[in-house]
Chains A and B, each alone.
Chain A
Amino acid sequence: MVDPIGGGMVALAAGIAVGATGIGAALGEQMIGSAAVGAMAEDESFFGRGLVMTVIPESIVIFGLVVALILLFVTMPTI
């Protein structure tokens, strides 16, 4: 039987892990993305490299996701 309060806390924590890192990644990508689009307007062959640079901050949200998955599927059943 899962402890309802503890389980709720874990679920909340998982949500925050994904949500907060998502905001962080979005802030980063917003800046890089607008610069990359600007560079692409100058030179279309920049697309590939522009995409690479734009998605660099995405690792942050992936870390958040991994933390959330571990919380939900590893930690949750032990409560």
Chain B
Amino acid sequence: MFEPQAMTKVIIAGSKDYMGVAIDALHNHNVVHITDFVDEDDDFKIGKPYASATKLSQRAVSLRSIASYLGITGKEDIPNTYPQGAIADEVDEKTERLNFEVTQVTDKISDTNSRIKDINDKKRLLDPLKSFDLPLELYSGYRSLAVFVGTLKGPPMIGDITPDYELETVPYGKGHAIALFVPREFEDDVLKRLQDQSYSALSLPKMAGTPKDLLADLDSQRSELEFEKEKSQQDLEALRKRYIDYILASDEYLSIATQKAEAPLRFATTKNAFIIEGWIPTKKLENVQSDVDRATEGHVMVATDASEAVNVEKVPIALENPMPSEPFEVLVRAFSLPRYNEIDPTTFVALIYPFLFALMLGDIGYGIVIIGIGLIVRRMLKSKGIRDLAAILVYAGVITLVFGLIYNEFFGVALVGAGGLILPAYAYPTVPRFDNVLTLLLVTLVIGILMLTLGYVLGFINEYRQHGLKHAAFAKMSWLLMLYGGVVVIIEILPPLTTGTAISISPALVGGVVLLVIGLLFLLLDEGILGIAELPSLLSNVLSYSRLLSIGIASAGIALAVNRLSYALFIDRGGVWIIFGVLMLIVGHAVNTALGILDSGLQSLRLHYVEFFTKFYRGGGMKYKPFGYERRYTEEQ
């Protein structure tokens, strides 16, 4: 709970003849975190993958290309799982057949697509000529005539070159479409003139008939092709429906088989033996030992290795927290995994995070909404990370509700007491936020001091375990002493400073100064003169907690503004205006809820990461990745 899972270093060694059996056994357990072997020398070489690996990965590639044609993402659910053996027997033949079937359809679709594109090109060329009645074959093949077909900016002016010409022209787009026939000898002059008017020639397709008829014909061809394409796509959809289960299951089977076949790349091998170095969660060690022993009939040994002093940076980290606080691991992981000899702060985050969140948001209405959102998201979505965040939201919502009762706020209005929604005669003692700003400011600062204290205490424990008592006292106790010395001094000198009276030397003040001096001394011994540069951060860390108040007041202020505005602008007018007023209430509070979740969530997180974690937590642990696979579509026999 307060530490990452205990890990035991293991050396798994045996004869190569039993390597396959051992890999199967380890893979099934899905608990051994293998440390890749890298330091090759004369005796130990990196193992060679099984020969099947190449073929398996080729199969996997072709299967995945089929899956992508069929739009299968690999996240779908299937009703039944496949027994692994059934796939192993038929995967080669079936994948090949499937590949053939799918390729046939996809080829047909791409063929149809290219034909449709062809038709579109032709249509684009014929379109300018659609109002000319001249059949297409008459635009070319003259000995004495030059023909210009194309578009240009305005109607062509060639009367001064030759009066002897035939012109068809029609406004087209921003310019004109023309078909111009002139005697051959004027071809060059006319071309030059046309080019001055941005003439662009159309290279006409070789077809017969008037453009109008041709266009109609092309249209009907195209709709036929589109119908065919639609049909092919339906075929593809049918294939997807028929084979999705098989594709998902065999993809999983191939992934697992490839993983196993390539596993020796992570082992050290000699001529006849293999050695795996890795980590197993201590509580699962015996189970693995006995299973591997049984599967390989004693030919492969799982030995624990305690010879080497544990190098904490190399131990993989698996967090281990009971169900209620487990979702909060996601917040710790987002910062960094703890090292092996560090405290796992998840439990503290689970206790403090929702509290800080609720202290800021604090509203019965918003609390209920947030609980609802959390529960719905948790039910609807499957992703582990999102579900964890939703669970955190539910916790935060419950405590937000509690703080709402304390603040007596329901969507920004008072719930009970005079002016409240219910129980006007009875008011339990509440703490309305707007009337208690200074008190709450003080409360937030006290929370800050307590959290920093907890941080330094945890830091003390960490340092004590890693570097001994002396270092722990210098590095963490120093700050703790200065924190409390500083607090006492400020309490003693602040009132006289604000009222302008003389500061009296009280025993408390002397005690505070003494604490400060001892703390400073420790700090100097630990970090030297540079440590002093860090001193102001102590003050800013404590003051930073005042955001708990300010963000809360901002959120309550927005709620208040939404309520007042919607009443003043709409609801008080009565009639249909009430609808607008209610609409404004809903939208306004929805926006404020979203802002509240985002802001309170991030600020609470920040108070953990920046002010709290920096006092004791370094992180940088390596993630525990067991050798194995979480099966979803297949099952072992």
Which residues does A use to contact B, with CB under 8 Å? 45, 47-49, 51-52, 55-56, 58-59, 62-63, 65-66, 69, 73-74
Interface residues of A: mostly helix, strand, loop or mixed? helix
* Chain B residues, CB < 8 A from A59: 540, 543-544
* Chain A residues, CB < 8 A from B614: 52
Bound form: Cα–Cα A49–B335 in Å: 6
Add 8 more A-B contacts to A58-B544, A69-B438 (CB < 8 A): A48-B334, A55-B610, A59-B540, A62-B540, A62-B543, A65-B546, A69-B437, A73-B437
* Chain B residues, CB < 8 A from A55: 606, 610
Query: Does B336 lie within 8 Å of A48, measured CB to CB?
Result: yes
Query: Does A49 lie within 8 Å of B336, measured CB to CB?
Result: yes
The residue in chain A whose Cβ has the minimal distance to the Cβ of B544 is A62
* Chain B residues, CB < 8 A from A49: 335-336
Contacting B610 at CB < 8 Å: which of A47, A56, A74? A56
Give the Cβ gap from A67 to chain B, nearest Cβ, in Å.
10
Interface positions, chain B 395-447, Cβ under 8 Å from A, are 437-438, 441
B547 at the A interface (CB under 8 A): yes
Interface 1/0s, chain B 325-364, versus A by CB < 8 A? 0000000001110000000000000000000000000000
The residue in chain B whose Cβ has the minimal distance to the Cβ of A51 is B609
What are 16 A-B contacts with C-beta separation under 8 Å?
Answer: A47-B335, A48-B334, A48-B335, A51-B605, A51-B609, A52-B609, A52-B610, A52-B614, A55-B606, A58-B544, A59-B544, A62-B540, A62-B543, A62-B546, A62-B547, A65-B547
Contacting B438 at CB < 8 Å: which of A48, A56, A63, A73? A73
B270 at the A interface (CB under 8 A): no
Bound form: Cα–Cα A52–B335 in Å: 9
Which residues does B use to contact A, with CB under 8 Å? 334-336, 437-438, 441, 498, 540, 543-544, 546-547, 550, 605-606, 609-610, 614, 619
Query: Which residue of B336, B606, B610 has the most chain A CB atoms within 10 A of its CB atom?
Result: B610
Query: Does A47 lie within 8 Å of B334, measured CB to CB?
Result: yes
Give the Cβ gap from A73 to chain B, nearest Cβ, in Å.
5
Give the Cβ gap from A40 to chain B, nearest Cβ, in Å.
11
Contact A66 B606, CB 8 Å, known A48-B336, A73-B438, A74-B498: no
Give the Cβ gap from A36 to chain B, nearest Cβ, in Å.
13
The residue in chain A whose Cβ has the minimal distance to the Cβ of B438 is A73
Query: Does A65 lie within 8 Å of B550, measured CB to CB?
Result: yes
Give the Cβ gap from A60 to chain B, nearest Cβ, in Å.
9
Query: Does A45 lie within 8 Å of B336, measured CB to CB?
Result: yes
Query: Does B543 lie within 8 Å of A63, measured CB to CB?
Result: yes
Bound form: Cα–Cα A74–B438 in Å: 9
Bound form: Cα–Cα A66–B444 in Å: 12
Give the Cβ gap from B331 to chain A, nearest Cβ, in Å.
9
Bound form: Cα–Cα A78–B547 in Å: 25
Bound form: Cα–Cα A65–B550 in Å: 8
Give the Cβ gap from A22 to chain B, nearest Cβ, in Å.
11
Nearest 8 Cβ contacts at the A-B interface:
A48-B335, A59-B540, A52-B609, A52-B610, A55-B606, A73-B438, A48-B334, A65-B550
Bound form: Cα–Cα A17–B244 in Å: 63
Give the Cβ gap from B497 to chain A, nearest Cβ, in Å.
12
Query: Does B336 lie within 8 Å of A69, measured CB to CB?
Result: no
Query: Which residue of A47, A48, A73, A74 has the most chain B CB atoms within 10 A of its CB atom?
Result: A48
Give the Cβ gap from A76 to chain B, nearest Cβ, in Å.
12
* Chain B residues, CB < 8 A from A48: 334-336, 609, 619
Bound form: Cα–Cα A33–B334 in Å: 17
Give the Cβ gap from A47 to chain B, nearest Cβ, in Å.
5
* Chain A residues, CB < 8 A from B437: 69, 73
The residue in chain A whose Cβ has the minimal distance to the Cβ of B441 is A69
Give the Cβ gap from B544 to chain A, nearest Cβ, in Å.
5
Bound form: Cα–Cα A48–B438 in Å: 32
Give the Cβ gap from A61 to chain B, nearest Cβ, in Å.
9
Bound form: Cα–Cα A47–B610 in Å: 13
Bound form: Cα–Cα A65–B444 in Å: 14
Contact A66 B334, CB 8 Å, known A51-B609, A55-B606: no
The residue in chain B whose Cβ has the minimal distance to the Cβ of A73 is B438
The residue in chain A whose Cβ has the minimal distance to the Cβ of B437 is A73
Give the Cβ gap from B307 to chain A, nearest Cβ, in Å.
32
Give the Cβ gap from A72 to chain B, nearest Cβ, in Å.
8
Bound form: Cα–Cα A56–B438 in Å: 25
* Chain A residues, CB < 8 A from B609: 48, 51-52
Give the Cβ gap from B617 to chain A, nearest Cβ, in Å.
10
Give the Cβ gap from A39 to chain B, nearest Cβ, in Å.
14
The residue in chain A whose Cβ has the minimal distance to the Cβ of B550 is A65
Contacting A66 at CB < 8 Å: which of B336, B498, B546, B605? B546
Bound form: Cα–Cα A47–B547 in Å: 22
Contact A63 B540, CB 8 Å, known A51-B609, A56-B610, A73-B437: yes
Bound form: Cα–Cα A66–B441 in Å: 9
Bound form: Cα–Cα A62–B540 in Å: 8
Bound form: Cα–Cα A45–B623 in Å: 11
Bound form: Cα–Cα A70–B325 in Å: 38
Bound form: Cα–Cα A59–B603 in Å: 12
Give the Cβ gap from B607 to chain A, nearest Cβ, in Å.
10
Give the Cβ gap from B20 to chain A, nearest Cβ, in Å.
35
* Chain A residues, CB < 8 A from B544: 58-59, 62
The residue in chain A whose Cβ has the minimal distance to the Cβ of B498 is A74
Bound form: Cα–Cα A69–B599 in Å: 20
Bound form: Cα–Cα A47–B614 in Å: 15
Bound form: Cα–Cα A51–B605 in Å: 9
* Chain B residues, CB < 8 A from A56: 610
Bound form: Cα–Cα A38–B610 in Å: 20
* Chain A residues, CB < 8 A from B610: 52, 55-56
Bound form: Cα–Cα A66–B438 in Å: 11
Bound form: Cα–Cα A74–B441 in Å: 12
Query: Does A66 lie within 8 Å of B543, measured CB to CB?
Result: yes
* Chain B residues, CB < 8 A from A69: 437-438, 441, 546, 550
The residue in chain A whose Cβ has the minimal distance to the Cβ of B623 is A45
Bound form: Cα–Cα A59–B540 in Å: 6
Bound form: Cα–Cα A59–B543 in Å: 8
* Chain B residues, CB < 8 A from A63: 540, 543
Bound form: Cα–Cα A49–B437 in Å: 32
Bound form: Cα–Cα A65–B107 in Å: 67
* Chain B residues, CB < 8 A from A45: 336
Bound form: Cα–Cα A49–B512 in Å: 34
* Chain A residues, CB < 8 A from B334: 47-48
The residue in chain B whose Cβ has the minimal distance to the Cβ of A72 is B437
Bound form: Cα–Cα A52–B602 in Å: 11
